[in-house]
Structure formats: structure tokens, C-alpha cells
Amino acid sequence: MRRSCAVATSSSPARRCAIYTRKSTTMGLEQEFNSLDAQREACEAYICSQAGAGWAALADRYDDGGFTGANIERPAFQRLLADVDAGNVDVVVVYKIDRVSRSLLDFTTVMNRLNKAGVGFVSVTQNFSTTDATGRLTLNLLATFAEFEREQIGERTRDKMAAARRRGKWTGGPVPLGYQVRDKKLLVDELEAVLVHEVFDLYLEQRSVLRVVEILRERGRATKRHLAASGRTREARPWGKGDVLRILKNAIYAGFMPYGSERHEGEHEAIVGRRTFEVVQDLLASAGGTKGRRYRNPDYLLAGLLYCAHCGSALTAASTNKGGREYRYYRSVRRDKEGRAACPTRPVSAPVIEDFVAARLRDAIAEEELAADLVTSVCARIGSRREDLEVERKRLPGEIAALDATEVEAGWVAQCLSEFERVWDVLTSENRGRLLRAVIERVDYESASGEVRVTLADLSGAALEEMSA
């Protein structure tokens, strides 16, 4: 039976009391007298007991049914805070503190907001208010325990989910392409499963995630359309590299139920065979371990020099292993990033093009006085600069030392060029690359015609100085 008591209006001089109620689930809210009604009745009884102090309940109801206390993003609660800020409330009355929030941070934020507005706070079943120091201390303690309870609930929920996953059960989340959920179980969607098979088959055929993306886009395929529990929709879109990798790496398709780094036998039906899945994982791991090596590996003599004549992008070093043997090659950076349509240049064998460039350098040495030109040009440049720096020798010893090193480097390069036929075959890979970068500005490779253009440096000494620095 409800108590009859004075009701305040926004223009009344009484202490206007706003009653806030909350329930985490919607279960039972359809009943004539539910949990929210019970909370409100208890709060009204308390307000009636304070009628002598001028307390009166506001007619407006602030009820949140089916909203968690983990955050304060609740419609009725936000409306209450807006009324507090507008000066329409003098006291907020709740059944228990955790009806406001189970988060200590959120609760403290709300209390600061109420205090700033000069609004009191009362929890009727815990018999205290914020009008005295003892009440404020108790509020903080109770809020701490409320947050502790929430963390325990979270831990129990995670443990329950982990146990369910270990038994192979689906525990929710975005439904993978190829499946639908019915009665909390994953069931194969035959139409979408065809697309999953297509992704795996294409990767086994092409051995390239980027090529799979290109083919799926060419065929007009789209990703799965997701409808979240909140009602928000993520529309289908053209495939990207990340989308393909998520399909290829998802153990659910092989009949497993993953949990962290663990895999457990799933209740659901597999879409791809486990042997196929493991082969794909091996290929992905292998591809991830053979990315291009640039400059740091001395075996790649043309690193930093070789460019695609078609698109102008650099050709970067890469390698692969077959039958226990390493195969070195250079590949287009643009093709790797944007696909074959952006650059048609296919990978070119590193030893083949390196030998070709060395042969062209050998021809140039036979036809031109490269060694003499190099020494003359560098020495003239160094002599001019040395005169300027000698005056500042005490202040700039480092620059003069660098010039000395450059002069030594130029001498070494000139000697190698003058005795190219004798020394090339005995030079280490590191020194071969060092020599090529000293006398060659760039190498352009045209894959369609097989043409290789070698541009010699102007022998100004800039490249030598950069190398010696």
C-alpha cells in the first residue's frame, strides 16, 4: 500500500526530492508492481518521514529499467542530472548507492556534480546522507565495495566464458562470415560458407593476400553485414587485406573454438578441413618471415639503387626458401602495397640483375677514364673545401676528418675501378655494394621489355662523402 505524502512542484519552496530507481535487467518489469515500484515506494516513505523538514517528492519519475550500473549513460539518469544542473532538484533519493553506479570513479564524479549544484544525496536503506562528514565517508566506502562487487561479477563472467569456450561453446560477439547464431549455437550459413571456401582456395592458389583482395574486388564480393545487439549496423564493404587475414587466421573455420592463445574442440561444424587450415597457417607464417631486407643485408648489391622504370617506385630486396635453398630477388614496393594493377613489374632475380649491372660497369670502365675522372673531381672539390676549413681547423676538426675519410674512400674506389677485372670477383658482398653505390646513381628496370638502364653518378664526391660519414 502506497503512502500518501506531499508532492513538490518545480515552483514549490519545499525541499524538492527526485527519486531515482534502476534495475539491471528487464525481467519482471512487465508486472503491475515491479522492482522499480518497490524502490520508489521505499524512497517515498523516507521522504514522508522528513515532511517536517519540508521534504516532498517530485512527481517526475526517473526510472531506468534494463540498464547496467557499470556506467552512467542511462536515459532517466541523464535526465535527472540535467534537472539537477537546471536547479530543479534539491535532494536525490535512492534505495541503495549501487542504483546510482557501481563504479567508484563515476560515483565520485556524480557526487562532485551534486555538491557543486548544492544538491543533497540520500540512500534510504543505508541511513545516511551527504549533509555531514560521516555520511560522505560512508558513501565513499560503500562505493568502493560496490566497485569491488562489480569487479567480482566481471571476473565470474570471464571465468564462465572461459569455461564455456573450453567446452567448445559460442559465447557471443560478431558472428563470423559463414555462420549464423541460433539458440546460442553457431550454425553454418551455406551461402556465406561458399565465400569462405573461395577465400581459402584463392589464397592456396595465389599465395598472396593482396592478390586475393584484388580478385574478390574484381568479382564484386563484399564482407559480412553485422547487426550489433545495440541495433547499430556495420554494412558490408569491399574486401581489404585485414578482412582476408581475419578469415584465414580464424580457427573457428576449422572447427575449433579459440580462447586467447588456446584452441578447443568446438561444438559447431567446420567449414574448411583442418589440414587445409594448417597449411594456410604455415604459408602465412612463412610469408611473414620473408619480408624484404634493405641496406642491412650486404648481399643485395643494388639496395637503394634499383627502381621500377614503369611506376618509379623502388625495388626492394626480398628472398624465399625452397628445398633448403635461398632465392634472392627484388620486388616493386608499389605492387606490394597496391596490387598488380598499380604496377605490372614482377619480381626480378637479384643475382641476374646484379651481374648485368656489374657487366655494364665493366664496359663503362673499358670505354671511359672513370677512375681518373673520379680522383680528379673529388680531389678538386676537397681541395677547395679544405682551404675554407683550414682557417677554422680548431673549431671544426670533425669536418676536416670527414674530408680526410672521403679522400681515402675516393682513393679506394679509384683503385677498385682501375683494377676492376682483377678485384671484382674477390670483393666481399659489402664492398661490392659499396663500390656500386659510389659510382652508380640509380638503376631502372623495365619488366615488360627486360631493359635495364644504369645511370652513373656525377662523381662529385657527394655519394662518397655520405658513405664515409
Give pLDDT tens digits for 48-60. 998 888 999 999 9
pLDDT, mean of residues 147-168: 80
pLDDT per residue as tens digits for the range 10-41 = 555 578 999 999 998 888 888 878 889 999 99
Selected residue with higher pLDDT from 38 and 5: 38
Contacts of 182 (CB under 8 A, 6+ apart): none
Residue 178 and residue 270: Cα distance in Å, rounded? 10
What's the confidence (pLDDT) of residue 84?
Answer: 96
Contacts of 111 (CB under 8 A, 6+ apart): 121, 130, 139
Contacts of 33 (CB under 8 A, 6+ apart): none
pLDDT interval class at 292 (50, 70, 90)? very low
What's the confidence (pLDDT) of residue 387?
Answer: 67
Residue 374 cell numbers, joined? 673520379
Helix (H) or strand (E) holding 307: strand 306-308
Which CA distances in Å does 234 have to 13, 47, 179, 181, 223? 51, 48, 16, 17, 10
pLDDT, mean of residues 434-458: 85
pLDDT interval class at 251 (50, 70, 90)? very high
First-to-last alpha carbon distance for the chain, in angstroms, is 91
Percent of the chain surpassing pLDDT 90: 27
Whole-number average pLDDT of the chain? 81
Domains defined along the chain, listed by start: 7-153 (3.40.50.1390), 179-288 (3.90.1750.20), 306-468 (no CATH)
pLDDT interval class at 335 (50, 70, 90)? confident
Selected residue with higher pLDDT from 263 and 396: 263
The yes-or-no verdict on residue 112 having pLDDT over 90 is no
What's the confidence (pLDDT) of residue 111?
Answer: 84
Selected residue with higher pLDDT from 292 and 45: 45
Q: CA torsion angle for 234, 237, 239, 244 (degrees, to 10)? A: 20
Say if pTM beats, i.e. exceeds, 0.75.
no
Residue 8 and residue 11: Cα distance in Å, rounded? 8
Selected residue with higher pLDDT from 346 and 369: 346
Contacts of 78 (CB under 8 A, 6+ apart): 72
pLDDT, mean of residues 195-216: 90
Residue 199 and residue 366: Cα distance in Å, rounded? 55
pLDDT interval class at 404 (50, 70, 90)? low
Q: Is the dihedral of CA 345, 350, 351, 356 positive or negative?
A: positive
What's the confidence (pLDDT) of residue 394?
Answer: 52
Q: Which of 415, 378, 416, 385 is nearest to 401 (CA)?
A: 385
